[in-house]
Amino acid sequence: MSHRWSVPVLARMHAGAADTFVDLRTATGACRDSLARALAALRDDTYLAPPPRARGAWSLTPRGRSAAPACVELLAARPVPPATDVALHKWTLPVVVALSGWSLRFSDLRASVPGVTPRALVQALDRMTAAGLVTRAPLGGFPPVLAYGLTPAGEALVPTTRALAAAVARPG
């Protein structure tokens, strides 16, 4: 689930409402194009079944039904603003998992988050630091090196993030 709106969509679908595109757009506040990309990605990853007719309701597949409760838990575990939306960005959850339990230097963190580019990781760390989820601590020596670790607010996301990762890893 690599799209920003994947978790809110699956959580909304878990509530049991028959959701059309318009219902999902209203409930999530996502723009049309972004929601369309999220739904296409969830369909391609077999979390959602497309509506049988053009303006029908989307439905959860068995794989989506197993991942949706973890999405609900993750949304409930989000810290208060400003970290609320940061927790749903693409690289936030993988960084939380990588940093859970210890601090890492940038290069080690990048190696433990597959697929992330240096620019995307810097942006994610900046957002997470501003939201109070991550701390930066300088390590001694020359050249100066920073270590990144989770704050208590970031650590609070670890259990639900791991539950979501386990649910996503289960075959549908």
Q: Which CATH architecture describes the domain 83-156? A: Orthogonal Bundle (1.10)
Looking at domain 6-75, its CATH class is: mainly alpha
Residue with tokens 């409402």: 17
Alpha-carbon gap, residue 101 to 93, rounded angstroms: 14
Rounded (10°) angle between helices 6-14 and 21-28: 110
User: Are 39 and 58 contacting, i.e. CB atoms less than 8 angstroms apart?
Assistant: yes
Domain residue extents for the chain: 6-75, 83-156
> How confident is the model at residue 171, as a pLDDT?
66
pLDDT for 102 beyond 80: yes
> How confident is the model at residue 105, as a pLDDT?
93
Q: Rg for the chain (alpha carbons), in Å?
A: 17
Per-residue tokens: 147? 């270590």
User: Are 113 and 128 contacting, i.e. CB atoms less than 8 angstroms apart?
Assistant: no
In tens, the pLDDT along 66-90 reads: 888 888 888 777 765 555 577 778 8
Query: Is beta strand 145-150 parallel, antiparallel or unpaired with respect to 104-105?
Result: antiparallel
Element (H, E) at 69: helix 62-77
83, amino acid identity: A
53, amino acid identity: R
DSSP string, 33-62: HHHHHHHHHHHHTTSEEPPSSTT--BEE-H
pTM over 0.85: no
**Mean pLDDT computed over 116-137:** 92
> How confident is the model at residue 123, as a pLDDT?
93
